């Protein structure tokens, strides 16, 4: 362990012990990963998207591997708000890092309902607003592509969420991601999370049908990393720089050096998704990799890394 | 001991047919203990991303296209045998080369190492209180069933009969098949040697054993068997249509039945929810999704919606 690097992060006023988050939907409800790594390495934990009612999710196949990536169409399968409060909140209460609950819904009212019911729990540091899920018919991405709707839902959930931090998760499936980013920031978002997955399709040429039962899915993994780095840098330069609104960068991060790229581009912290499937201790290794890099380069605080791109 | 991420050393990797192989994964130290009591039906997730492909001229023609695909995810494989020595546990996997990951696996040599996550899943329940165990397998479903047959040696009082199915003789994942099987089966297959398991074989094309589906010989057997239905346990592993038919037969005959299912898995450890299995939610007529990797891969056949 190198003690000469300050790994803490000021995340929009929230003090984090480290810069690495688990990405929504890729780390169960936290109990699963404990067998593989010390959860103390995490700066933040983001839950699977929670909706008011339980959701079964899509039929299988729900995933398919692609060259350097994968498509998923899980369909926001989750246990619903009531079960989440009863069964999972107590587990999350035991975590030392900042817990963000990812919220999804079919209508603005549903998002508000989840935020309203959860805002009283002190084990929750904040909410991540999923307005960018490509795998549900209604809601999700519809909110996420129109700046007017992004602003509106951000305002409403911010109000319903009491004093909790609100992080808005942006969709990359837009012409100009700075437009939705700006809308969220102006409407009061405390942080931005980017990017979610890209709409994509894989076809089975034997059957002539899409491989996924949902037909389309979201592309994640190393394949999307360079685009994600570009988008983080674009939003940092055009929207958040100087505002104090931090960016949680994600998309294909597998190593410490991947994470350093995101931070140089403008991210204050990073989220790791697909990489945890291949290596369940990814978050721990990535945190160590970032620290190693800083130590070698004589960078004593992560703040100096964020947005340091020449 | 709990599951975890471990390094295994390849003990051997031998070809046993057109596209079947047996690979021995050796675990030493703490991991030897973790794997010493794996149950039949449990599985591991192997990282084959860093293993290299065979040379161009050693890649079977039908796999040339898919061999070009880069892989990033681990692959699930169940066990076909286990050998425990002092300080060392070797688990064997019976596998078939079907795509880029399994092709890479076939190129591993003794002494190579791979990263393995496991042991995962629940495994088959033992046939407590039964007098007869019927083992039904198709294709690569052979692995866990062979492992099970070996485990059932601990139940000498139980009668064991295996029903083995494949498209054709070449698709049977066994060594020296022709030597031991007559037209109607009933002999002992080398793989089951020492397990006291009688074997009936069927192939779709009749190239060995009886012509037809394995579920047909299972059905015929049950029709002429006088064993009390509640004293029988059926175990099945293989392609999903085969499992669906086995489950249907078990239900109509009122026999307990366990099936081992396969799903595409991104993680194998309950993180991603990719491996959903549709199950009946009580008698409500509704269904829920369970996770094949955590809640399975072995399910009570009566619970699954096929
Ligand atoms: C719990 C479990 C246990 C398994 N045990 C064994 C075993 O003991 N021996 C063995 O040979 N194989 C086993 N398999 C299947 C094995 O995981 C796949 O054959 C392997 O992932 C193929 O990888 P590949 O890259 O070579 O081929 P891919 O290109 O990934 O797949 C080749 C073809 O198989 C299909 N496929 C891939 N994975 C699956 C799956 N899980 N279910 C259905 N179709 C699939 C693909 O659609 C494709 O058409 C098991 C699978 C599971 C889920
Ligand atoms: C299997 C799977 C399930 C996901 N589920 C959710 C989800 O419920 N809510 C959400 O906001 N994002 C979800 N995501 C998106 C990830 O959180 C992340 O933004 C994306 O995968 C990009 O990061 P990665 O390349 O590191 O995986 C999911 C991704 C995967 C692969
Ligand atoms: S494979 Fe990820 S939850 Fe089962």
Ligand 1, pocket-test mutation among B54, B75, B260, most atoms within 8 A of CB: B75
Q: Which ligand sits closest to the CA of B293?
A: 3
Most confident of A3-7, A264-268, B226-230, B280-284: A264-268
Q: How many residues are listed for chain A in this entry? A: 310
Residues with CB under 6 A from ligand 1: B 43, 66, 71, 75-78, 93-96, 98-102, 140, 143, 262-265, 297
Q: Quote the CA–CA distance of A272 and A250 in Å, as a whole number.
A: 6
| Per-residue model confidence as pLDDT tens digits over A167-201 | 999 999 999 999 999 999 999 999 999 999 999 99
Is residue A137 reached through a cis peptide bond, with omega within 30 degrees of 0 on the bond before it?
no
Ligand 1, pocket-test mutation among B53, B262, B295, most atoms within 8 A of CB: B262
Residue B189 pLDDT exceeds 80: no
Q: Report ipTM (2 d.p.).
A: 0.92
Q: Quote the CA–CA distance of B56 and B305 in Å, as a whole number.
A: 42
Residue B285 pLDDT exceeds 50: yes
Question: How confident is residue B183, by pLDDT bands cut at 50, 70 and 90?
Answer: very low
User: Which ranges of chain B does DSSP label H, i.e. alpha helix?
Assistant: 30-36, 64-67, 100-106, 142-151, 177-180, 214-224, 240-253
Q: Which of A192, A12, A74, A300 is nearest to B266 (CA)?
A: A74
| Per-residue model confidence as pLDDT tens digits over B190-233 | 677 678 888 888 899 988 888 999 999 999 999 998 899 999 99
* Side-chain-facing half-sphere of B210: CA atoms under 13 Å: 17
DSSP class of A57: -
Is residue B128 left, alpha or beta, with left meaning phi > 0 and alpha meaning psi from -120 to 50? beta
Whether B275 and chain A come into contact, CB under 8 Å, resolves to yes
What's the rounded mean pLDDT across residues B68-83?
96
Angle formed by the axes of helices B214-224 and B240-253, nearest 10°: 10
Distance from CA of B105 to the nearest CA of A (A): 16
Residue A112 pLDDT exceeds 50: yes
Residue from the list B264, B272, B289 with its beta carbon closest to the beta carbon of A26:
B272
Distance from CA of A2 to the nearest CA of B (A): 25
Angle formed by the axes of helices A147-160 and A108-118, nearest 10°: 30
What's the rounded mean pLDDT across residues B1-7?
88
CB contact under 8 A, B70 and A68: yes
Is residue A195 reached through a cis peptide bond, with omega within 30 degrees of 0 on the bond before it?
yes
| Per-residue model confidence as pLDDT tens digits over A115-134 | 999 999 999 999 999 987 65
Contacts of B51 (CB under 8 A, 6+ apart): B104, B105, B107, B108, B112, B114
Residue A164 pLDDT exceeds 90: yes
Which pLDDT does position B178 carry in this prediction? 55
Determine the 3-state secondary structure of B242 from DSSP: helix
Contact map slice: A 158-177 vs B, CB within 8 A: none
Which pLDDT does position B2 carry in this prediction? 83
Q: Quote the CA–CA distance of B271 and A20 in Å, as a whole number.
A: 17
When mean pLDDT is compared across A268-277, B158-167, B192-201, the lowest value belongs to B192-201
* Ligand 3 contacts CB of residue B270 (under 6 A): yes
Q: How many residues are listed for chain B in this entry? A: 306
Class of domain A9-57+76-197+220-304: alpha beta
Q: Quote the CA–CA distance of A274 and B266 in Å, as a whole number.
A: 9
Is residue B98 left, alpha or beta, with left meaning phi > 0 and alpha meaning psi from -120 to 50? alpha
Residue A1 pLDDT exceeds 90: no
What atom of ligand 2 comes closest to residue A78's alpha carbon?
Answer: 8
Q: Quote the CA–CA distance of A57 and B31 in Å, as a whole number.
A: 36
Whether A213 and chain B come into contact, CB under 8 Å, resolves to no
* Ligand 3 contacts CB of residue B264 (under 6 A): no
Task: Give the residue, A4 or B290, on which the prediction is more confident.
Answer: B290
R_g over Cα of chain B:
19
Ligand 2, pocket-test mutation among A24, A79, A253, most atoms within 8 A of CB: A24
Question: How confident is residue B175, by pLDDT bands cut at 50, 70 and 90?
Answer: confident
Substitution target from B48, B68, B266 for chain A, most A beta carbons within 10 A: B266
- Residues above pLDDT 90, as percent of chain A: 85
Phi/psi for B135 (5° steps) reads -105, 120
Residue A256 pLDDT exceeds 50: yes
Residue B112 pLDDT exceeds 80: yes
Which pLDDT does position B176 carry in this prediction? 63
Alpha carbon A143 to its chain's center:
17
| Per-residue model confidence as pLDDT tens digits over B17-47 | 889 999 999 999 999 999 999 999 999 999 9
Whether B278 and chain A come into contact, CB under 8 Å, resolves to yes
Q: Which of B56, B57, B51, B102 is nearest to B76 (CA)?
A: B102
Q: Which of A163, A158, A161, A166 is nearest to A190 (CA)?
A: A166
Phi/psi for A270 (5° steps) reads -130, 155
Q: Quote the CA–CA distance of B265 and B263 in Å, as a whole number.
A: 6
| Per-residue model confidence as pLDDT tens digits over A25-56 | 999 877 788 889 999 999 999 999 999 999 99
Which pLDDT does position B103 carry in this prediction? 97
Given a contact cutoff of 8 angstroms between Cβ atoms, the answer to whether A240 and A181 are in contact is: yes
Contact map slice: A 61-80 vs B, CB within 8 A: 61-65, 67-70, 72, 74, 77
Name the helix (H) or strand (E) containing A135.
none
Sign of the dihedral through C-alpha B34, B40, B44, B50:
positive
Cβ-based neighbour number of residue A308 at 10 Å: 14
- Angle (CA) A191-A193-A197 rounded to 5° is 165
Residue A114 pLDDT exceeds 50: yes
- Catalytic amino acids of A? 133
Determine the 3-state secondary structure of A75 from DSSP: coil
Task: Give the residue, A273 or A137, on which the prediction is more confident.
Answer: A273
Which pLDDT does position A132 carry in this prediction? 75
CB contact under 8 A, A25 and B272: yes
Residue A58 pLDDT exceeds 60: yes
| Per-residue model confidence as pLDDT tens digits over B122-156 | 999 999 999 999 999 998 789 999 999 999 999 99
A198 alpha carbon to ligand 3 midpoint, in Å? Answer: 21
Determine the 3-state secondary structure of B20 from DSSP: strand
Q: Which residues pair with B234 in a beta bridge?
A: B134, B257
Question: How confident is residue B173, by pLDDT bands cut at 50, 70 and 90?
Answer: confident
Cβ-based neighbour number of residue B231 at 10 Å: 15
Q: Which residues pair with A192 in a beta bridge?
A: A168, A247
- Angle (CA) B238-B243-B247 rounded to 5° is 150
């Amino acid at each position: 362990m190198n003690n000469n690097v300050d790994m803490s992060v000021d995340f929009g006023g929230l003090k984090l012990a480290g810069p690495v988050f688990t990405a929504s939907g890729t780390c169960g409800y936290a109990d699963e990963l404990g067998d593989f790594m010390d959860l103390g390495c995490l700066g933040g934990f983001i839950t699977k998207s929670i909706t008011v009612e339980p959701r079964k999710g899509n039929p299988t196949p729900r995933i398919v591997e692609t060259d350097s990536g994968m498509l998923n169409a899980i369909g926001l399968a989750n246990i619903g708000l009531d079960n989440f409060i009863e069964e999972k909140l107590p587990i999350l209460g035991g975590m030392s890092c900042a817990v963000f609950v990812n919220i999804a819904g079919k209508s603005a009212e549903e998002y508000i309902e989840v935020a309203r019911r959860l805002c009283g729990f002190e084990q929750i540091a904040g909410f991540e607003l999923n307005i960018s899920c490509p795998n549900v018919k209604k809601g999700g991405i519809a909110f996420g592509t129109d700046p007017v709707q992004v602003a509106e839902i951000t305002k409403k959930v911010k109000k319903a969420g009491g004093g909790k931090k609100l992080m808005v998760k942006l969709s990359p499936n837009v012409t100009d991601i700075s437009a939705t980013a700006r809308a969220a920031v102006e409407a009061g978002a405390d942080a931005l999370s980017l990017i979610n997955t890209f709409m994509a399709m894989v076809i089975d040429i034997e059957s002539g049908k899409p491989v996924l039962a949902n037909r389309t899915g979201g592309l994640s993994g190393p394949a999307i990393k360079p685009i994600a780095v570009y988008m983080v840098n674009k939003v940092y330069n055009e929207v958040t720089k100087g505002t104090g609104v931090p960016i949680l960068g994600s998309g294909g991060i597998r190593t410490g050096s991947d994470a350093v790229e995101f931070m140089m581009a403008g991210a204050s912290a990073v989220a790791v998704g697909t990489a945890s499937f291949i290596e369940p201790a990814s978050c721990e290794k990535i945190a160590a990799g970032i620290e190693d890099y800083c130590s070698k380069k004589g960078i004593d605080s992560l703040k100096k890394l964020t947005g340091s791109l020449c | 001991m709990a599951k975890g991420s471990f390094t295994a050393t390849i003990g051997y990797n031998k070809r046993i047919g057109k596209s079947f192989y047996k690979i021995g994964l050796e675990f030493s130290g703490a991991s030897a203990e973790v794997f010493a009591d794996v149950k039949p039906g449990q599985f591991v997730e192997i990282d084959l991303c860093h293993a290299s492909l065979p040379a161009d001229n050693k890649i079977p023609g039908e796999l040339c296209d898919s061999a070009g695909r880069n892989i990033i995810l681990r692959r699930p494989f169940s066990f076909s045998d286990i050998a425990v020595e002092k300080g060392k546990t070797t688990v064997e996997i019976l596998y078939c080369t079907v795509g880029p990951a399994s092709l890479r696996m076939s190129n591993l040599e003794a002494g190579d190492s791979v990263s393995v996550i496991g042991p995962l899943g629940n495994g088959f329940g033992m046939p407590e209180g039964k007098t007869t165990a019927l083992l039904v397998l198709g294709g690569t479903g052979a692995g866990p069933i062979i492992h099970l047959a070996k485990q059932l040696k601990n139940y000498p009082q139980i009668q064991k009969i295996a029903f083995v199915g494949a498209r054709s003789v070449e698709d049977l994942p066994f060594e020296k098949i022709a030597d031991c099987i007559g037209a109607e089966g009933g002999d002992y297959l080398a793989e089951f040697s020492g397990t006291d398991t009688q074997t009936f074989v069927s192939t779709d094309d009749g190239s060995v054993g009886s012509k037809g589906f394995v579920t047909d010989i299972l059905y015929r057997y049950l029709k002429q068997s006088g064993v009390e239905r509640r004293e029988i346990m059926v175990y099945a592993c293989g392609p999903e249509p085969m499992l669906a038919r086995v489950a249907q037969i078990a239900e109509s005959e009122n026999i307990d039945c366990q099936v081992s299912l396969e799903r595409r898995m991104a993680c194998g450890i309950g993180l991603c929810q990719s491996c959903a299995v549709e199950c009946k939610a009580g008698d409500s007529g509704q269904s829920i999704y369970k996770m094949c990797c955590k809640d399975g891969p072995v399910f009570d056949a009566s619970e699954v919606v096929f």
